[in-house]
């Protein structure tokens, strides 16, 4: 890895460590292992303070201009790094994101008290999780493991609120355990996603395949203005989730002009763009905003699990900029390439409850 230092006016330098810099998050690629260029050569930017430059009398105006250019150049360099690698690339551990100004919420899954302190009364279905286990994940990443119930479709349902946004990023890490293949009894399991106003946009994994145990179609499940009242829509992510493997899922919403099909949506899986659209009609009402992530794992549908199922979740973050995979999972996620699925899942109505976007922590 090469390291070069760019010296700017005003006493600042930018030290840039880079190997082969990978494409920006907007570059559509197939889902799979993060390439060596993104793991070993992750772009990082460090600001270093050097001894102030000596000024020559009479050059105050020139010094002021140079200082302003320095600040502008520094800001541009930092923003460029964030767009290329994500906010998480600039922290030593993922929990440090909580102190970043671009981050609206960070949910640390370290223990029950911390979780309850982060989620006010009325924003969490009880029990908050079945058979919860607080685990130490890869490279000390805090992880919550939880189970299903044979008497409930809901595994977890929390509302993580933040200040209303016109555009926002939401990210979390999920692992599907092997016993989901034995316990699942529905056409899909809903996973967390962004929501607010007229929008409920969760991710989803598909049903069990007897011939391909442990492989599940990756897709989403959205209620919005263009899906109509009482109907959700399912769209394929053209990829698969494999049991026992960590996946980093990140969504981006930019709300549409009310009533117009010009909203933007993107989904990244393990730092790779899996799906995007610039023609979504999320809202018809000008007052609609995105204001929470529905941290929800829901079996179905209306059918109950036929046996125990376990999932793991970690590193939930909401931000105003692309976040990217946690540093603890670099080199861990997608240990083997997952080829895109052929064909698409046809958009179909919801079979859940025939209602508009869920408003209760107990609803599907």
Alpha helices in the chain (DSSP H): 36-39, 60-85, 112-118, 180-183
- pLDDT at res. 58: 34
CATH number at residue 261: 2.60.120.200
Q: Which segments in the chain show pLDDT lower than 70? A: 1-84, 335-364
The reported pLDDT for the residue numbered 360 is 52
User: What's residue 77's pLDDT?
Assistant: 33
Residue 340 forms part of a structural domain: no
Q: What is the tens place of the pLDDT at every residue in 320-337?
A: 999 999 999 999 997 443
> What does the block give as tokens for 242?
């494999």
pLDDT of residue 231: 72
How many whole angstroms separate alpha carbon 308 and alpha carbon 29? 35
Beta bridge partners of 277: 265
143 and 7 in a common domain = no
| Among candidate residues 229, 268, 249, the one with its CA nearest the CA of residue 349 | 229
**101 and 219 within one domain:** yes
Q: Based on the fold, state whether residues 116 and 221 are members of the same structural domain.
A: yes
Do residues 181 and 274 both lie within one domain?
Answer: yes
Q: Under a CB-based contact definition with an 8 Å cutoff, are residues 254 and 326 in contact? A: no
Judgement on whether residues 108 and 68 belong to the same structural domain of the protein? no
Residue 39 lies in a domain: yes
Q: Tell me if 74 sits within 8 A of 14, measured CB to CB.
A: yes
* DSSP assigned state of 346: P
In a domain, 344, yes or no: no
Report residue 73 as tokens: 């150049």
pLDDT at 85: 83
Domain boundary at 20, 53, 85, which? Answer: 85
Does 154 share its domain with 176? yes
**Of 59, 85, 111, which closes a domain?**
85
> How many domains are there within the chain?
2
Question: Do 56 and 101 sit in the same domain of this protein?
Answer: no
125 sits in the region (left: phi over 0; alpha: psi -120 to 50; else beta) called beta
Structure tokens at 272: 């790779």
Q: What is the pTM of this model?
A: 0.73
Q: What is the pLDDT of residue 63?
A: 39
The H or E element spanning position 164 is strand 154-165
Is 183 part of any domain?
A: yes
What is the C-alpha radius of gyration for the chain, rounded to an integer number of angstroms?
22
* 104 and 67 together in one domain: no
Whether 228 maps to a domain, the answer reads yes
Helix, strand, coil % in the chain, rounded to nearest 5: 15, 40, 45
Give the number of other CB atoms < 10 A from CB of residue 325: 31
Supply the range of the domain harboring residue 69. Answer: 2-85
Residue 363 pLDDT: 52
CB pairs under 8 A, 24+ apart, for 107-113? 107/160, 107/295, 107/316, 107/317, 108/142, 109/134, 109/142, 109/143, 109/144, 109/313, 109/314, 109/315, 109/316, 110/134, 110/142
Q: Which pair of tokens denotes residue 107?
A: 């949910």
- Asked whether the beta carbons of 192 and 294 are under 8 A apart, the reply is yes
Q: Which residue, chain included where needed, has tokens 């551990």?
A: 93
Q: What is the reported pLDDT for 17?
A: 41
Which pair of tokens denotes residue 83?
């767009």
Of the candidates 330, 344, 349, 346, the residue with the CA atom closest to the CA atom of residue 239: 344
Same domain, 66 and 123: no
Domain C-terminal end among 57, 85, 113: 85
């Amino acid at each position: 890895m090469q390291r070069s230092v760019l010296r700017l006016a005003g006493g600042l330098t930018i030290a840039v460590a880079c190997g082969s810099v990978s494409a920006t998050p907007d570059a559509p690629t197939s889902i799979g292992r993060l390439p060596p260029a993104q793991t070993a050569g992750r772009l990082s930017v460090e600001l270093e303070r050097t001894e102030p430059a000596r000024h020559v009398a009479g050059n105050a105006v020139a010094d002021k201009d140079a200082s302003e250019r320095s600040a502008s150049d520094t800001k541009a360099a930092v923003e460029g790094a964030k767009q290329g690698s994500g906010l998480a690339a600039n922290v030593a551990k993922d929990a440090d994101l909580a102190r970043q100004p671009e981050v609206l919420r960070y949910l640390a899954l370290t223990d029950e008290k911390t979780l309850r302190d982060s989620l006010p009364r009325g924003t969490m279905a009880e029990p908050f999780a079945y058979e919860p286990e607080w685990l130490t994940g890869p490279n000390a990443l805090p992880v919550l493991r939880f189970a299903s119930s044979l008497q409930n479709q809901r595994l977890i349902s929390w509302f993580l609120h933040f200040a209303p946004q016109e555009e926002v990023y939401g990210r979390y890490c999920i692992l599907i355990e092997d016993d989901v293949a034995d316990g699942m009894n529905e056409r899909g399991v809903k996973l967390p996603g962004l929501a607010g106003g007229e929008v409920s946009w969760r991710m989803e994994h598909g049903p069990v395949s007897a011939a391909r145990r442990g492989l599940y179609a990756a897709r989403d499940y959205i209620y919005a203005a263009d899906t109509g009242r009482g109907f959700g829509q399912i769209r394929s992510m053209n990829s698969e989730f494999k049991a026992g493997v960590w996946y980093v899922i990140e969504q981006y919403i930019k709300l549409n002009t009310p009533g117009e099909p010009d909203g933007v949506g993107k989904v990244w899986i393990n730092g790779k763009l899996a799906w995007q659209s610039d023609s979504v009609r999320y809202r018809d009402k000008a007052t609609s905003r995105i204001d929470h992530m529905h941290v929800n794992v829901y079996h179905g549908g209306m059918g109950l699990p036929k046996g125990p199922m376990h999932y793991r979740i970690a590193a939930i973050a909401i931000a105003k900029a692309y976040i990217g995979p946690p540093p603890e999972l670099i080199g861990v996620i997608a240990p083997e390439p997952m080829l895109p699925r052929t064909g698409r899942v046809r958009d179909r109505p919801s079979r859940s409850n025939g209602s508009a976007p869920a408003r209760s922590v107990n609803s599907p």
